[in-house]
Amino acid sequence: MATILIADDSATSRKAISSVLEPLGHRILHADDGRDAWEKIQSLKPDLVILDILMPQMGGFEISRQMKNTATLSHIGIIILTSLKEQTNKYWGLRQGADFYLTKPAHPKELLSCVSTLLETVK
């Protein structure tokens, strides 16, 4: 069983993502802003983080960059899941350390495929 942190300032988005992942039996954690997400990442070291880009206090790009630049966190998988569809945002997100960049609303099968791929890598 993996630990997955969902960081999104939208409660609706967090609930939708959780509903896709919970049937797999993973431990799901939530953060409603970037600062809360960063604190939970540092203290709990989840196996996977799903980040929105636009969050109060600290954005997904910054969190991704800091994770990849921190030795004890750099192995954690990152999926950016955002409503920003522009290719420049996708490019930037991947450059900041995200493993996958998905746009909302993501198809559940696509999200599950990304999660499965990253969790296999962590094993």
Q: What would the pLDDT profile of 82-123 be if each residue is shown by its tens digit? A: 887 888 877 777 888 899 999 988 899 999 999 999 999 765
User: CA-CA distance, 101 to 79, in Å (whole number)?
Assistant: 6
pTM comes to 0.92
Q: What would the pLDDT profile of 23-34 be if each residue is shown by its tens digit? A: 999 999 999 999
Q: What would the pLDDT profile of 60-88 be if each residue is shown by its tens digit? A: 999 999 999 999 999 999 999 988 788 88
Return the pLDDT at 28.
97
What is the extent of the structural domain holding 77?
3-122
Burial class (CB in 10 A: 0-12, 13-18, 19+), 19: exposed
Percent of the chain whose predicted confidence (pLDDT) is above 90: 76
CATH of the domain at 31: 3.40.50.2300
Number of domains into which the chain is organized? 1
Report, as an integer, the average pLDDT of 39-56.
Answer: 95
